[in-house]
Structure 1
């Protein structure tokens, strides 16, 4: 499976637009990405569902962790990068002596596929727990999959570390075995709104009109609701609120509604396949949006999105990314991890790889602190984790300023200026712009966006 996906990633002439090496204005890290800090001869074959990602040590105890991601379906390229990051982290942990509080026990990842579907995610999670006897589960990127699979983990009292899904329901259900490392939809949306505040101030805009088009799911509805609440506080006017059933082959009708609305700004929330269909329709119908198309990640972060589209289709679009894209170059050890990612998996390190890595490290820290696989002890160990980013803690590859869980088991340091970055695509490259501390001197937005008649 991995060879097929890596080949796909390598074929992407535009994949570098969303990765470290091609981020305009971030500067040159000086790292040689052709070098590897690990064994470059390591197999790149993907594990099948229920099969260990890496063989356990020949001696000593082995602790199993479920690694649950979308390896097929609409989010497959994203899920594979999460799985790769988790695998790379566990290889490093095992090579450095494993879980020392458990006598050097090695960690064995058991990889499972959500198939980018909530019902399949819950079945896969149950199989990990009941058949494979994993001690905890990390995953599962898509919000609906995180919600359904974590419900299973809660049912069996198995610790679940959610990474990727931003819907508020992940940590709003009062589940004591479910933790989330990454930001919530609230953080994602407010990062975009805050950037638009800056744009309004810099361009003397008193108000904005906006359109919302989003998949009719927990994730999409959350994004739209939070955007609308924040926009209403600013006196902006909603001219279109359009939920869409996913999986449509043509979105011309939705795009024409956007065009007829005369919106200044469009906020869109779709996963990869729908993002491709929608973006193509938006371009084909030459919809002018002077202050931008703003995507809350999703499909606009996927390499497959850029492979499928001409550069002109997504040029000028704004995308909320889940990490400090320039900060990845600031530390030698991060450069080494990035080089190892390129050497082992065949692509430049992405935020998804970093998120998988971080999830695996948090699971390891919990095991180290608990010194046991007892579920209650592991649950309490996760709750007690406090990691602060001094630039050297390897768990914080994802760039968060800290990992500290609140009363809802949500990491409250995963958003805002401490977490994500707003980029604008300019000439095929992602240019980090907001917040200012995640940008560099010389990076400027192209605004207002030229109309199609002016391009």
Structure 2
């Protein structure tokens, strides 16, 4: 049974978990060991997520996805190759600070005997953690986007989603395709992005797409994460003559940008860069302003409802992409342990690099499977375009997986 079984639908940390935090003490918010195995062996898996700070909801969503799959594995008999050993999640709050993320990862590895780490949503946090896991030779599985994650020659990092530059190019290419279907030719676009590893990598992909298509970028502005006043950005957007805008941002920034656009009657299509544009809090925060907003995403829950509806039933909201992809990370790790018949890091690394994973939750990915190349990048992940329609995210591109036709703002 999950130790978050009494959590609210939004996935907040319950009183029992809070007491566990207080009892352990330590760096930032310390660690939660979920219900330990009463009998037999346990396989400790580290889960490092931003459970407080600016990106807390993303971390909570991600944790929920991991917990769902871990509980399903345990309910089905645990890791059979290890005599039914159960998955025991050791959960740590990275906060939203890279230094803290690295510190808690180090502590998990030295004090909790974890066989691998999953996390940490934000690319800047994952990059910091990967420095620790690489030195220790322990696998790190993530759905963070940045190109840097698998671009440094590390042997122990595994990225289940397409990298940010690929997502950025797909964000542009998908938009061009949807505009063409609606009978509009895009000639001028605007890009605005937060200046972390995620935003800068994805903006590079947007520029690449625009250059290849001969489309003019009339605005290309970075801004600091957690911006408090988007008025200068929106004023520049209004004056730019852009026919569409591509904002790449986390939740608080995305709410400010779209709200300011709509309040100022700027009705051009907004195509988000995933992150803050594809979670329920976006729609809750914007209401009618969210309707029709497009976004790129590495995956979407409506592509595999037979699996993802289990998340909605348990937590009370649709399975956001970071929950889905961290669920895949958990399932792939479990499959790797089954195949290796071992939790030794070198054995897991060999299996992760050399196996095509096709069972279980890997079917929720757009490629229907997961296969890592020598850098640790999943080569089968294909981005999709989604659109807010009546408080749900609907896949609208590419056409072979679309669940509805996109509504294009004129």
The alignment's TM-score, normalised by the length of structure 2, stands at 0.89
Change (3 A) 1:44 1:349: farther
Q: Decide whether the 8 Å contact of 1:251 with 1:277 is kept in 2.
A: yes
Deviation at 1:405, TM superposition (A): 0.8
Change (3 A) 1:240 1:125: same
Deviations 1:323-344 (A, max 9, x none): 2443223x4xx2xx624x3443
Deviations 1:33-57 (A, max 9, x none): xxxxxxxxx999687442212322x
Q: 1:128 aligns with which of 105, 108, 128?
A: 108
Change (3 A) 1:206 1:323: closer
Structure 1 CA distance, aligned partners of 2:4 and 2:277? 22
Change (3 A) 1:104 1:279: same
Change (3 A) 1:270 1:350: closer
Structure with the greater relative contact order (CA < 8 A, sep ≥ 6): 1 or 2?
Answer: 1
Give SS of 2:351's match: helix
Deviation at 1:396, TM superposition (A): 3.0
Q: Does structure 1 residue 338 correspond to structure 2 residue 315?
A: no
The equivalences for 1:75-154 within 5 A come to 75-154=55-134
Deviation at 1:9, TM superposition (A): 7.1
Deviation at 1:426, TM superposition (A): 4.0
Q: Does structure 1 residue 250 correspond to structure 2 residue 220?
A: no
Change (3 A) 1:194 1:260: same
Structure 2 CA distance, aligned partners of 1:432 and 1:93? 29
Structure 2 CA distance, aligned partners of 1:9 and 1:133? 26
State the partner residue of 2:388: 425
Change (3 A) 1:89 1:44: farther
Give SS of 2:357's match: strand
* Unaligned segments of structure 1, at least 5 residues: 11-41, 451-455
Further displaced range: 431-440 or 126-135: 431-440
Q: Decide whether the 8 Å contact of 1:351 with 1:398 is kept in 2.
A: no
Give the number of equivalent residue pairs: 398
Deviations 1:367-413 (A, max 9, x none): 1222222221121121122123xxx6344334542211112110011
Change (3 A) 1:203 1:356: closer
State the partner residue of 2:27: none
Q: Does structure 1 residue 360 correspond to structure 2 residue 366?
A: no
Q: 1:53 aligns with which of 15, 22, 34?
A: 34
The equivalences for 1:16-95 within 5 A come to 48=21, 49-56=30-37, 58-95=38-75
Q: 1:372 aligns with which of 331, 342, 346?
A: 342
The equivalences for 1:212-227 within 5 A come to 212-227=191-206
Deviations 1:227-258 (A, max 9, x none): 11111111100101100012222110111001
Q: Decide whether the 8 Å contact of 1:424 with 1:432 is kept in 2.
A: yes
Structure 2 CA distance, aligned partners of 1:320 and 1:44? 37
Q: 2:380 aligns with which of 413, 420, 427?
A: 413
Deviation at 1:414, TM superposition (A): 1.1
Further displaced range: 45-54 or 206-215: 45-54
The alignment's TM-score, normalised by the length of structure 1, stands at 0.81
Structure 2 CA distance, aligned partners of 1:87 and 1:222? 29
Give SS of 2:8's match: helix
Deviations 1:116-168 (A, max 9, x none): 222221111111111212111011111111111111111111111112x1110
Deviation at 1:195, TM superposition (A): 1.9
State the partner residue of 1:261: 240
State the partner residue of 1:435: 398
Give SS of 1:310's match: helix
Q: Decide whether the 8 Å contact of 1:251 with 1:281 is kept in 2.
A: yes
State the partner residue of 2:407: 446
State the partner residue of 1:350: 320
Deviations 1:77-98 (A, max 9, x none): 2221211121121122122222
Q: Decide whether the 8 Å contact of 2:147 with 2:201 is kept in 1.
A: yes
CA RMSD of aligned residues (A): 2.6
Change (3 A) 1:202 1:373: closer
